[in-house]
Every structure is written in C-alpha cells, then in structure tokens.
Amino acid sequence: MATLREQIATNVLTVTRFRDLMKRMQANRPADDLELVKKAYDYSLHVHTGQSRASGEPYLVHPLEVALVLAEMKMDPIAVAAGLLHDSVEDTSVTIVDIRKEFGEQVAHIVEGVTKISKIDFATKEEQQAENLRKMMLAMVDDIHDQAG
C-alpha cells in the first residue's frame, strides 16, 4: 500500500501530465470535444489506483505518455482515449466488453488490437513498442475507412 506522501506525489504527477495532454489536444484539435479523453483519464485513474510499475513509477504515467504522443501526432479523441485505456484490459480486471460499454466500439477496437499485440513475443522492447504503434495506427485506419465508407 502506498504511503500518503506517495499517493500525493502520484496525483500531482498524473494531474500535471493530464493537463499537458489536454493543452496539447486543445492546441492541435481546437474543434474537438475532449469529454471522451477526460472520461478515459478518469476511468484509467480509477482502475489503476494503487498500482505502480516495477520502477516505482505510478502505473498511469505510461498511458498518459502514450496519450501525449498520440496528441502530438494530432490524433483524434478516440485514439487518445484508447491510448489512455490500452493497459486497462491487460493489467486490471477490466474487459474489452467493459471498454466497449463505456467508450464505444471504436475505442474498444483500438484497445483490443493493442492488447492482442502485447501477447506476441518480441526480441526487444523497441520492436514491441514499434509494433504496438503500428497496430494502433492500423486500427485507426480501419476506423477512418469505416467512417468514410
């Protein structure tokens, strides 16, 4: 169990990164409704409460970093929400059905794709990260194609 000091440090760190994410989204996509991103952050924060990585870093830092990268790439709120949620299915009791119910089919599709790819064994961490990004982009292309079609 984390000490009160650790919990406060985690909250400050994740809230600061979330503010950075929202600023980036507002700057890059000013016309977008960011409520889905806020909802995904709140959900991820809730399901990862008390978790930390082997390094001691708060668990939520990684999904926030992924979401920031996606925001810098000017991805839409659906992709950024999926970035925030991608570890939830792997590392908590949350299921794809839960994600689909809370966030819709598009977000669930992306999260499911990233979850499936994480089960593949790669020679290096870099290969795995590259493949995760590739898979997320392919899932987003599928979604764009489905919307345009």
Residues carrying an active site annotation: 90-91
Cα dihedral across residues 127, 16, 57, 11: positive or negative: negative
Residue 59, classed as helix, strand or coil, is coil
Q: What's the CA gap between 43 and 27, in Å, rounded?
A: 24
**Helices 96-103, 35-47: crossing angle, 10 deg rounding:** 150
> Which DSSP string do the residues of 95-108 spell out, in sequence order?
-HHHHHHHH-HHHH
Residue 137, classed as helix, strand or coil, is helix
- Report residue 52: phi and psi, to 5°: -140, 155
Q: Which residues pair with 58 in a beta bridge?
A: 52
